Structure 1
Amino acid sequence: MGILYSEPMCQAAYDDDIHKLQEMILADPRNVNVQDEGTGDTPIIAACRQGHLRTVKYLLDCNANVSIRNKKERTCLHYATRRTFSFLDYLMIAILMPILLIGYLIMEEKQRKNVKLMELLLATKVEVNAVDYS
């Protein structure tokens, strides 16, 4: 479950609903910096909480104020810099990391063999300017 804002503009930003944001901003451009009564969040803070890049870009284009602080004295940048991973994210990392590591090690070993092979050949009188038929 997520946050439920009392301010529709913040909820739309939190939900990544750009069409609703556009309607509300067209109705009153001052809505772009409106603050929620409960949290003090602005629409850009709400969008940053969820990491909605598209919504944040739109709000910045509409001149959203990035300096406004919420009731916790945090700006949108505080939420943009937080690293939040869900349990599913950690689970996928734990499962995929060993597989990726094995793949990387195989790739490195093949590359090392290829380098040694080229070094051996380059130490001989091989013609380095030879051109193939195509």
Structure 2
Amino acid sequence: MFFIEKNREENGKPFIIDWFISFEGRKVGIIGLSEIDYENRSAHVGYWINSQFRNKGIASVALGLVVNYSMNAMNLHRLHTKVMHNNPSSMRVLLKCGFSIEGIERESLFLNGTYFDMINFGIVFRN
């Protein structure tokens, strides 16, 4: 994984941080933190892996690195994200990295004429 950029700075601190995910020398995805809230020490995490490279453990490794960075380098207390209910692979990644299911937003995403449930995940870092 390598750093892309810090962007949209607010008060001298980044609001969004993105990284490319690399595998065997190729860029295969992206992962990032957004909605970084320094006062409440929380952020939203999101990731995407090229379909040719899914189910190889790449997302789990990348998310594990970002979780570690968030906790240790940024001193965040909590990360959160949402996953469509029909994406079990992403749910497995989150659970493997220590996230817990925090709730379901019923029919909260309207896509291509259909409503989808979104599953909320979060992780809290305790000392």
TM-score by length of 1: 0.30
More helix by percentage: 1
Please tell me whether Structure 1 or Structure 2 has the larger radius of gyration of its CA atoms.
1
More strand by percentage: 2
